[in-house]
Amino acid sequence: MRCSALPLATKCRGSYKLTQGYGSEQSRLGIAFHEAARAKVLKQSIDKDSLRARYGLTDEELRSIDYGIYNITIQIPEGAMVLADDKKMSGLGEKLNGTPDFGIYHKETVTVVDWKSGWGDVEDPETNNQVIGYGILMVEELEKTGKIVKKIHLVIVMPRLNQVKAFVFTRDQLMARAKDIERIIDEAEKGAEEFTTGPWCQQCFKSMNCPAFAGQVKTLAAFIEPQDLADPQAIEKALRTLLPFAKSVKTVSDKIQNLAKVWVDKNGPLELGGGQTFAKVIENKQEVNAKKAFETMKEYFSEDSIWEIMGVSMTKVSALAVATKRGLSTVVKNRMKETGALTETVGVSYRMIKGKGGSENGEGSEG
């Protein structure tokens, strides 16, 4: 089993056979991000044209990678052994395999770095079986060559969130986890089909092939509109059942849409019956040149009125600053606050909160 499959298999044993060998849009961007992150840490040049060609990246995706790796900095001690993400390792009697993102061996201490390219929070390294698995693989790999390992630093880097999570194991503490991981692997590979639904379903690429998930969606249909809307218990039951799956259902819906688009591109309009057809429609879109539009609108409107409709987002400002110069994003943001160009307003959002610390998980909707 791959280390990357362990977090999901830990929650749901049946997920392993469903997801074997399946790729995704996220993995394509993730691979490109990891390659760029490794080059940055090793102070190597990043060939963006090559990344674009090999992974089919758009300009927006390249900017996203630039933004993601911007804050990644790892100090490598002089004389340390570096293991970058180009070495596949196996351990636990060939039961576990994987390619750690980045590793450092120095003075009987191993540092295992796992960087995440997304915006979502991840489980802490103390209980994150993926990064624990990488630590076990690296310890076994080093000990094969006679190296002595006494401590293992597990580090998860989330540059988009500007956050780092870390935990330190002794060798014995880490290897004691090996038995639990072996048990997870054995139970998942036996095909016992122990499907367990929960918020982790959104991470499963084949949730609609899962009888537990599909069955849960069917059951939800009876709860979405309780018979007695005045019954608070019925409503609470519906919400407790539905909300953890809301993002998973949206993910599946998006996949159906994407599949339909690809099918129509290759085969033409898709007749759905009942007078409905799913087809590709070519429309002329209007794009506004902001600079020229401002000059034109001044002929008819006051400048104050014009500026009210010509919005700019901090996301775009930050992207421009990152592309211009390292460290400029914070400088520009602070300066905009000083000049009154940036003000903070109170907004209300509804979103999933994950963990004891109340870290945000998932997208919120403004209300």
Print pLDDT tens along the chain (367 aa). Answer: 889 889 888 988 888 877 664 444 456 778 888 888 888 888 888 888 999 898 888 888 888 888 778 777 788 888 889 886 667 899 999 999 998 989 999 999 999 999 887 777 788 999 999 999 999 999 999 999 999 999 999 999 887 777 889 999 999 999 999 999 999 999 988 866 688 877 777 767 666 678 877 777 777 777 776 666 667 777 777 777 677 777 777 877 888 888 889 889 889 999 988 888 999 988 888 888 888 999 999 999 999 899 888 878 888 888 888 778 767 888 888 898 889 888 888 888 777 666 544 444 443 333 3
pLDDT value, residue 154: 96
In terms of Cβ atoms closer than 10 Å to its own Cβ (0-12, 13-18, 19+), residue 292 is: exposed
CA 32 to CA 26: how far, in whole Å?
10
pLDDT value, residue 362: 40
Q: What are the percentages of helix, strand and coil residues in the chain, rounded to 5?
A: 50, 15, 35
Residue 190 neighbours by CB under 8 Å, 6+ apart: none
For tokens 């997304």, name the residue: 118
pLDDT value, residue 132: 96
Q: Taking the CA of residue 5 as centre, how many other CA atoms within 13 Å lie in the half-sphere pointing to its CB?
A: 24
The residue extents of the domains of the chain are: 3-189, 199-263, 313-367
pLDDT value, residue 245: 73
CATH of domain 3-189: 3.90.320
Q: Which two tokens stand for residue 152?
A: 């293992």
pLDDT value, residue 109: 95
pLDDT value, residue 135: 96
Which among 173, 179, 182 has a CA at the least distance from the CA of 154?
A: 173
pLDDT value, residue 287: 83
Q: What is the CA radius of gyration of the chain?
A: 25
CA 22 to CA 204: how far, in whole Å?
10
